[in-house]
Structure 1
Amino acid sequence: MTPSASLARGVAPTQPGTLHVRSVTGDLSAPPRPGLTVSFGRGEKPDVDLGVGVDDLRVSRRHGELTYRQGYWWLRNIGQQLVRLPRGRMMHLTSEPIPLATGYTPLFVKGSGYREHLVELYVASHDDQGPVSRRRAETARPETWALDDDERLLLVVLGQRYLLYEEDPRPLTYAMAAKQLAYLCPDARWNERKIEYRVEAVRRRLDRTGFKYPLMHDKAQGRPADNGLLHNLLKGLVESTTLVPPDLDLMEDEATWPDSAP
């Protein structure tokens, strides 16, 4: 493997296809020049262009490459450890290269123990200025989803382990949730069938809103267990702060909940 082609620094960020790469050790920009390769890893120049995990022997000296061809920057893992991408996608050194979409893509290089080394990638589009400082701008509020009172109580009961931030949480079964809901709201006539109906209604509604995780069955891939879709729903609601730990108080004061229609 030959060293990467020389990188252009100070490239105008308005040029579409410009690649910006950043880690804790530094940053660089590269123009969309066919055949140009940007490399990262534990090694030093000229073997790599950007240092990543420089004190971690689990990170390969040349761990990954980004090469511009066919109008895209193609990411390739050439290290011994996995590279993790958004949505849990993993890349092994035998994985095929993948093209980067415009905009921001974080990747994580697996290291020693629980260590993961972040590499931030940004590909400029036709109408942006690349990554810019926004230190003085107002903080954007998290995107949350509206839930009515019954839905919130139901999802808090089903997802109480998520709201306790347990490691690898799982939803309560519908049978367990029905027992707790019957105690909290005895006049609401909660049962497993009603829970299933209300959960599916929430999934259908939120699936049309750009929810982070899949909420409906993919007919092309068969019919997965509903428990997996419920896990996606609860995980997304907690991560977005639609459901937050203080919501657990709803399970302690049933007097605050009006009777619900069956």
Structure 2
Amino acid sequence: MTAIAGGPPEELGPDHGSLAHGVPPSPPGTIFALAVTGGVRMPPRDGRQVLFGRNRDDVHVCVGEDDRKVSRKQGFLVRRKDSWWMHNTGKLPIRLPGSRLLFPEEEPVPLAEGYTAAFVRGSAGREHLLEVYVAGADGRRPDSRPQDVTEPPRMWRLTPDERLVLVSLAQRYLLQDQYPQPLAWRQVAEQLSELKPEARWSVKRVEHLVGAVRARLARAGVSGLTREEVGEPVGNALNDNLIKELLLSTSLVPPDLALLEPEDDPGGVPAPPA
């Protein structure tokens, strides 16, 4: 099927494949929106809207039809000034990539070309997915490249001391705690002092070393690692953002916890100091 710029919307059936796999050739700016119940393809005419929510009869894309936590009209996508924008008109926030929350009646956010996954949390922790795809300048899906070599993540180089300190700082994340937080400077210093007393670990040394890693990654373009970006009160935000970057880049991995095992008693990581 071929959309005509400015023409009517076209329905996508519930058996339509995920938009994450791309879309058929379409005029630039064409938007596709899809949920488990089906969706729509809309040409890029200024002022056009794609409505989504629980009430099938009043929206283009039905999201969370059987979940009363989802609003009947949860939100809409609108074409303005050569971009598509997402509005939230419901009662719950909409979660966008990067853990960005779009709150009800908040200023709309523009959608980038390509694929966007948006979630509305419903009853009993259910997550209702709205897939959106905005056709790019060439109107095509990315080429399939099954034989290409997989691109590795950008791993950050760490010195042995940096890795040891960061593993201690991030151990609750590496242990897959449900709600992890970085250890306090004092806890890290005490744990490492017990593990390697000859190294003379102190709170200031730990803080300085982690701060140096944050500064290095910030200079390399990683966001959320400076006070100016995060704002006050900072709390654990800087270290939380640092740890998440190190995990996502696989610069720290769960087997690194072995660094915290006592040399005379391998096989288990001691609990961090209280």
Q: Report if aligned partners of 1:14, 1:126 keep a CA contact under 8 Å in 2.
A: no
Letter of the 1:35 counterpart:
G
CA distance in 2, matches of 1:240, 1:233: 11
Q: Report if aligned partners of 1:174, 1:192 keep a CA contact under 8 Å in 2.
A: yes
When the two structures are superposed, what TM-score results if normalisation uses the length of structure 2?
0.79
Letter of the 2:218 counterpart:
D
* Residue 191 (structure 1) shift: 1.1
CA distance in 2, matches of 1:115, 1:135: 33
1:43: which partner in 2? Answer: 55
When the two structures are superposed, what TM-score results if normalisation uses the length of structure 1?
0.82
Q: Report if aligned partners of 2:51, 2:59 keep a CA contact under 8 Å in 1.
A: yes
2:84 is paired with a residue whose SS is strand
* Residue 243 (structure 1) shift: 1.5
CA distance in 2, matches of 1:209, 1:198: 17
* Residue 223 (structure 1) shift: 5.0
CA distance in 2, matches of 1:133, 1:62: 36
1:147 to 155, 158, 176: 158
CA distance in 2, matches of 1:207, 1:50: 40
User: Are 1:13 and 2:25 an aligned pair?
Assistant: yes
1:260: which partner in 2? Answer: none
Kindly tell me the number of residue pairs found equivalent between the two proteins.
Answer: 248
Letter of the 2:251 counterpart:
T
2:245: which partner in 1? Answer: 236
Q: Residues 185 and 207 from structure 1, CA distance in 2 versus in 1: closer, same or farther, beyond 3 angstroms?
A: same
Letter of the 1:217 counterpart:
R
Letter of the 2:211 counterpart:
E
* Residue 136 (structure 1) shift: 7.2
1:39 is paired with a residue whose SS is strand
Q: Residues 207 and 138 from structure 1, CA distance in 2 versus in 1: closer, same or farther, beyond 3 angstroms?
A: same
CA RMSD of aligned residues (A): 2.8
1:80 is paired with a residue whose SS is coil
CA distance in 1, matches of 2:8, 2:166: 54
CA distance in 2, matches of 1:132, 1:23: 24
Q: Residues 60 and 226 from structure 1, CA distance in 2 versus in 1: closer, same or farther, beyond 3 angstroms?
A: closer
Q: Report if aligned partners of 2:37, 2:63 keep a CA contact under 8 Å in 1.
A: yes
2:197: which partner in 1? Answer: 186
* Residue 158 (structure 1) shift: 0.9
* Residue 38 (structure 1) shift: 1.0
Q: Residues 209 and 30 from structure 1, CA distance in 2 versus in 1: closer, same or farther, beyond 3 angstroms?
A: farther
1:113 is paired with a residue whose SS is helix
Letter of the 2:27 counterpart:
Q
Alignment of 1:1-262 (within 5 A): 6-8=8-10, 13-45=25-57, 47-127=58-138, 129-130=140-141, 140-211=151-222, 213-218=223-228, 222-225=231-234, 227-254=236-263
CA distance in 2, matches of 1:51, 1:139: 36
Q: Report if aligned partners of 2:214, 2:242 keep a CA contact under 8 Å in 1.
A: yes
CA distance in 2, matches of 1:140, 1:18: 29
Q: Residues 236 and 7 from structure 1, CA distance in 2 versus in 1: closer, same or farther, beyond 3 angstroms?
A: same
1:258: which partner in 2? Answer: none
* Residue 54 (structure 1) shift: 2.0
Q: Residues 239 and 24 from structure 1, CA distance in 2 versus in 1: closer, same or farther, beyond 3 angstroms?
A: farther
Letter of the 1:205 counterpart:
R
